[in-house]
Amino acid sequence: MTKQDETIHDVVMIGAGPAALTAAIYTTREEIDTVLYEKAIIGGLAATTDWIDNYPGYSDGVAGMRLADELRGQAERFGAQIEFGEVQKIEKENNIIKLTTDGGEVKAKAVLIATGSSYRKLGVPGEEEFYSRGVHYCATCDGAFYADKRLAVIGGGNSGVQEALFLTRFASHIDLIVRSDLRASEVLIRKLEEASDKITVHTQVTVDEITNLDDKVTGVKIRSRKTDETRLIEADGVFVFIGLLPNTDFLKDSQIELDEVGLIKSDHNLQTSMPGVFVAGDVRSGATMQIASAVGDGATAALKIREYLESLN
């Protein structure tokens, strides 16, 4: 049964990843009534990451789950209320923003969208099973675990090539697997040619499977799109860069403007095209997709939300 809550909260945050939890620390400390809606895991993508080596303040690195727990504890200490539920729609009437969730309607004077984005998956056997322990989607985050190891990188666009080049700092060799032809910029293609002793490019091939032995990734089985022949590329780890899927489906019929890949556009105050609705973290157009940047966005958005709420009085 759905419920109708007539309370008008100061701010409702959509998502409870690092961006929203940080924003909630700031708003609740200033006694701004704050409710977060989270559809999956408190801590977002960061909570699902095994080990985070590049988040400031942890000289030995930190487990993703621990960082998520710390952020949650800090936000709750100041009074943040976290509800489980998926926000499905956002509308605005007379300065009040109405959110439809799977548990009913919620109203707020201001809203922060911090729903992140999901990495597009290959959808092949082995991918789900070895997520974050052999199959990765973030080279900056996980590349250093592969010092002197062989890697397979999937994706021939700018991010695939750029990340393959970045991974040469660690890996002994990289096989770059490309579905059609390389679609990266000329500059990147030139750099790729310069790195030909470390990167072997395979074009016009698809991935059938991520192979494993004794619970460890052993490589990828690729299939030629021309001859249909298959072969095994040996690798200790696989990095997939075939695009991002922003978590913005629920905004499709709203007035909130998205960019060409579906990320949310904002002004320099992180306010979206719907006044009173702000955006922070990975889902913001122009975001750098790192936890440190997401928490920075969260803090900025919270301060701008405070200014916005003051302007309503």
Ligand X SMILES: Cc1cc2nc3c(=O)[nH]c(=O)nc-3n(C[C@H](O)[C@H](O)[C@H](O)COP(=O)(O)OP(=O)(O)OC[C@H]3O[C@@H](n4cnc5c(N)ncnc54)[C@H](O)[C@@H]3O)c2cc1C
For ligand X, the binding residues (CB under 6 A) are 14-20, 37-41, 44-46, 49, 52-55, 86-87, 114-116, 119, 132, 136-138, 141-142, 247, 250, 281-282, 289-292, 294
Nearer to ligand X, 65 or 195 (CB): 65
50 is catalytic: no
**Joined tokens for residue 70:** 């710390």
Whole-Å CA distances, 77 to 14, 25, 27, 46, 309: 19, 8, 12, 20, 22
228 is catalytic: no
Cβ of residue 60: shortest distance to ligand X, in angstroms? Answer: 14
Cβ of residue 310: shortest distance to ligand X, in angstroms? Answer: 25
Cβ of residue 85: shortest distance to ligand X, in angstroms? Answer: 7
Catalytic residue chosen out of the listed positions 50, 53, 138, 208? 138
Nearer to ligand X, 18 or 126 (CB): 18
SS (H, E, C) 19-62: HHHHHHHHHHHCCCCEEEEECCCCCHHHHCCCEECCCCCCCCCE
Conformation bin of residue 123: beta by default, left when phi > 0, alpha when psi is -120 to 50: left
253 is catalytic: no
Catalytic residue chosen out of the listed positions 33, 142, 175, 236? 142
Count Cβ atoms below 10 Å from residue 136 Cβ, excluding itself.
Answer: 27
Nearer to ligand X, 67 or 205 (CB): 67
- DSSP lists the bridge partners of residue 84 as 38
Nearer to ligand X, 115 or 162 (CB): 115
Q: Tell me which residues are annotated as active site.
A: 138, 141-142
